[in-house]
Structure 1
Amino acid sequence: MEKRWVYNEEALPEVISELADSLKISTTLASILCQRDICTFEEAKAFFRPCLSSLHDPFLMKDMDLAVNRINKALHNSEKILVYGDYDVDGTTSVALMYSFLRTHTQHVEFYIPDRYKEGYGVSQQGVEWAAENGFTLIISLDCGIKSADKVAFASSLGVDFIICDHHLPDEDIPQAVAVLDPKRPDCLYPFKELSGCGVGFKLIQAFCYQNNIEQEEAFKLLDLVVVSISADIVPIVGENRVLAHYGLKQINGTDGMRPGLEALKELADITGPMDVTSVVFGFAPRINAAGRMGDAKRSVRMLLAETKEEAYQVADIINESNKERRSKDSNITKEALQMIEEDDFLRTANSTVLYKDSWHKGVIGIVASRCIEKYYRPTIILTQSNGKASGSARSVHGFNVHNAIESCSDLLDQFGGHMYAAGLTLPVENIPAFRERFEAFVSDTITEEQKIPQIEIDGKLKLNQITRNFYNIVHQMEPFGPGNMRPVFVSECVYDTGAVRVVGSSHLKLTLTQDGYHAIDAIGFGLSDYYDAISKGIPFDVCYTIEENIFRGVSTLQLRIKDIRTQTR
């Protein structure tokens, strides 16, 4: 699939030069920092040396004092507290974080995760009723609740108070809870707006420690859970999130060892060496999510709370089996979906994809939508039957607002919600043909030609001889990488293979690149075997890539991970 190479905007040359001089680094590296809004020595110092003392005062968040006071009252009166969270990674890590902290202060605390299929997303009426029937007088909701004004009012009528810890955009109607902690509230002056749901829960614990003269270390011990939520929920890893992620990874990789549940996941994911954001995203997140997609998300919480390896592995094995089941269903449904597109002339040439099959598993349709975009790069909605309705997940392409496209068809829907790149919807099955037609018309009228082509953002051009161990070490210090601070992508022009090019696996290229007749460096290009013939004939080409460390049999070398290739004759 053709890709657009888009170069990130560079700062003014004098700004780059001054930063390079002050840090004693190359202008290439200084330019990368400036692209991340790091343009002074002090900003660079804070970036390269994250410090827990730079975390914001949690009491800057609106309602934080009310939340801490209500928890203190509940503890003093031995009230029953219910920790309530969503069934995804952010929700389950949030619940594990808050529950594990509170249970060191009271025996009257339990947790609740709604059933994905029976109760749906967020605070449910069933959950509120269960709390009231079992004598709970305070619910602390995490990663959900900001859009649950009706459920909070219902809880209040039953004598149950709410503290909401959320990070999603609120509606105009803020729930009438005891406290609503959400930095995205328009009336909240908290300086950092991009915390994960677990991050908001962490700030509440931090505030509780301040007010009750508890060492902050008690809160910092939970940063391993916070970094898992930050990584999996794809929030920007900048500002306060960068500090939390840095120390969370430091804890996971520390000499004291990680918590038993994460250790079990690491072994089951066959991860060796230190963990980073990428290994958390691909190693931990799918397995934690699988519990909620395929069965009971409470298992994920129990695994994260496990105090012994034996207890953790018992639950982790079940979760891992759920993940294998999820992958099988994901793979099979993806094949069916792609076949449906390929066998239909309209679907094959359309500007959008809307597919429905009543037997598809609801827990994986979002993943299937993403898989379809990998093949057919366009806004995609995958629907299946749920409780007599068509229920679906939407995913989008860079720059296109799929939520707006769905909203244009709202009269055909029972409900919908989400954001620019991902959304959910429910509609009567009989409305699917009309919805497909209207959705396609909206997409066709509004999508640009550029948005139909996947793009790769380029940080700068490099000569291969600039790729030294010292250069890589400075790039490596820019971790943790993620949204807002992606791993730098470079372009090298007019390179050749030394003659070692070969296809490995089913579709991958293994090369050794040279430029200007010297400085050979190994490279790997996943899924790029279509370029084998041209490269093997000695045709010059341009590559865009990231730089990584490859350790084989104890020997460390640098290699390029190629993202795309452009041959000179193209």
Structure 2
Amino acid sequence: MLTRELDRELFESYSDDIPLILKRVYAARSVSESQLSMALPGLLKPSFDQLNIALDLLEKGILEDRRILIVGDFDADGATASAVAIKALRLMGAKHVDFLVPNRFKHGYGLSPEIVQEAKTDKDPNLIITVDNGISSNEGAALARSLGIDVIITDHHLPPKVLPEANSIINPNLRGCDFPSKNLAGVGVCFYLFSALKTHLAGKGYFDAHNIQIPDLRELLDLVALGTVADVVKLDQNNRILVNEGIKRIRQKLCSKGILAILELTKRPIETLQASDLGFTVAPRINAAGRLSDISQGIRCLLSEDMNDARRYAQTLEEFNIKRREEQTRMQDEALAIVEGQTIDESQFAIVLYDESWHEGIVGIVAGKLKETYQCPCAVFAKSGSALKGSIRSIPDVHIKDLLDLVDRDNPGLIDKFGGHAMAAGLALPPESFESFSEAFSEAIKKHLEG
């Protein structure tokens, strides 16, 4: 049993209303009393690189009635971030705001050249704002700029060595960025950007000059809480404040009608809502749309102003989720059967699987289940057009994004593209490269773990 040494000075500093047993626990873990506060004033102040550039572009976009297009990701973090951006811009007087989310089956991930070209043709934006994506979209950002479109990238994924040539990049994980928390979800980054924009515009007298009520962006915290929980980012103090405040608003029904409709449909008690209800009830239904079809249904559900519209979208999401569960069960059973047939033992350093019948929208869930079962990094692939699309879930000892950097460096041309975090990543590769990738990936993990 591990016994932690008590920090006596810290123990004595706690106020009398903290129970003695909790004082001992906190002092043994070096938790200060200020860290226990979940109040909004405890939020970190925005201190992102390139923030002023983004604020000037957004101010210009609003004042000149420019066409602003939000390009999100096809998961719950991306959906909530898209909704936050759209709502915030409209509250601040932007007249031409629209969104376009890549379809994973048609465009792939991020601000790809394909999605930029479609945006130019169908929406003709002056400004593109990515939310929860874009940090690896070098080609797409370059194409947008060449077409005369300004680009603001907001993302939380780990940056590549060569950054996109956007006008501004807002990402706490940029090298040199001094924002203290590196754990914001995509929706958290987005919320910070528009909170800063509100302060920026208020300081210039914009709201008074245009007879616009200064927006209370606390009304977006339900969406921030949902996206933060859904993306399973680390709940450091800053994220706990965001989630706590968002949950309080949902319990008071001061939230998106889409969230209320999903909770109503699933018979979850709103007044006693917990973070687990967001993570295991609301988020999977929004994610299901992005996994099987188009996350736009989830975004429209979250943006619904009419409760009947919200209920209709919620029912559509429920139907997607039922299909997702059926497909997930089939794929998990097949994946487990394959692994069991391979006689996996304790010397196994990684699991890499592919089946041409598997659904690319479900591979991430299956990889996660395999990782939990076998406690090693797991990559699961499905056919996507002429390529293989894969999701990887890792263990604490293996930073999977860094490891993919290594595999890509040592095997040029093996991987078409990839991106992600320490614990999760996505990638694409040619079908003929699957066996070579499997060997290179497993060998890299083996070398890493053996030191």
Tell whether the structures are fold-level matches, with TM greater than 0.5.
Answer: yes
* Native 8 Å contact 1:132 1:159 kept in 2: no
The answer as to 2:102 corresponding to 1:114 is: yes
Residues 363-400 of structure 1, C-alpha deviation per residue, up to 9 Å, x if partnerless? Answer: 11111112223332322111222222332111122323
Q: CA deviation at 1:175?
A: 3.0
Which SS does the other structure have where 1:447 is aligned?
helix
Counterpart residue identity of residue 85, structure 1:
G
If asked which structure has higher relative contact order (CA below 8 Å, sep 6+), I would say: 2
Q: CA deviation at 1:346?
A: 5.7
Which residue number in structure 2 is paired with residue 91 of structure 1? 78
Equivalent-residue separation in structure 1 for 2:61 and 2:151 (angstroms): 12
Which SS does the other structure have where 1:75 is aligned?
helix
1:317 to 315, 318, 328: 315
1:167 to 156, 167, 178: 156
The answer as to 2:27 corresponding to 1:30 is: no
* Native 8 Å contact 1:381 1:393 kept in 2: yes
1:52 to 40, 52, 62: 40
Unaligned ranges ≥5, structure 2: 208-212
The answer as to 2:155 corresponding to 1:176 is: no
Q: CA deviation at 1:279?
A: 1.5
Which residue number in structure 2 is paired with residue 432 of structure 1? 434
Unaligned ranges ≥5, structure 1: 1-5, 450-570
User: Which of these two proteins has the greater Rg computed from alpha carbons?
Assistant: 1
Q: CA deviation at 1:17?
A: 4.2
The answer as to 2:65 corresponding to 1:78 is: yes
Q: CA deviation at 1:318?
A: 0.7
* Native 8 Å contact 1:347 1:353 kept in 2: no
Equivalent-residue separation in structure 1 for 2:432 and 2:124 (angstroms): 43
Equivalent-residue separation in structure 1 for 2:38 and 2:159 (angstroms): 30
Structure 1 residues 34, 300: closer, same or farther in 2, change over 3 A? farther
* Native 8 Å contact 1:10 1:34 kept in 2: no
Equivalent-residue separation in structure 2 for 1:10 and 1:21 (angstroms): 21
Residues 443-495 of structure 1, C-alpha deviation per residue, up to 9 Å, x if partnerless? Answer: 4444369xxxxxxxxxxxxxxxxxxxxxxxxxxxxxxxxxxxxxxxxxxxxxx
Structure 1 residues 152, 35: closer, same or farther in 2, change over 3 A? farther
Structure 1 residues 396, 224: closer, same or farther in 2, change over 3 A? same
Which SS does the other structure have where 2:129 is aligned?
strand
The answer as to 2:412 corresponding to 1:414 is: no
Which residue number in structure 1 is paired with residue 210 of structure 2? none
Q: Name the structure with the higher helix share.
A: 2
Q: CA RMSD in A?
A: 2.6
* Native 8 Å contact 1:11 1:31 kept in 2: no
Residues 71-112 of structure 1, C-alpha deviation per residue, up to 9 Å, x if partnerless? Answer: 221222221111111111111101101112222413311111
Equivalent-residue separation in structure 1 for 2:174 and 2:116 (angstroms): 24
Q: How does the TM-score come out when normalised to structure 1?
A: 0.71
2:262 to 248, 254, 265: 265
2:294 to 296, 321, 332: 296
Equivalent-residue separation in structure 2 for 1:190 and 1:404 (angstroms): 22
* Native 8 Å contact 1:199 1:226 kept in 2: yes
Equivalent-residue separation in structure 1 for 2:275 and 2:382 (angstroms): 32
Counterpart residue identity of residue 119, structure 2:
A
* Native 8 Å contact 1:202 1:226 kept in 2: yes
Q: CA deviation at 1:402?
A: 3.6
Q: CA deviation at 1:434?
A: 3.5
Alignment of 1:270-285 (within 5 A): 270-272=267-269, 273-285=271-283
Which residue number in structure 2 is paired with residue 392 of structure 1? 390
* Native 8 Å contact 2:80 2:223 kept in 1: yes
* Native 8 Å contact 2:127 2:151 kept in 1: yes
Counterpart residue identity of residue 55, structure 2:
V
Which stretch of structure 1 is more off in the superposition, 138-147 or 314-323? 138-147
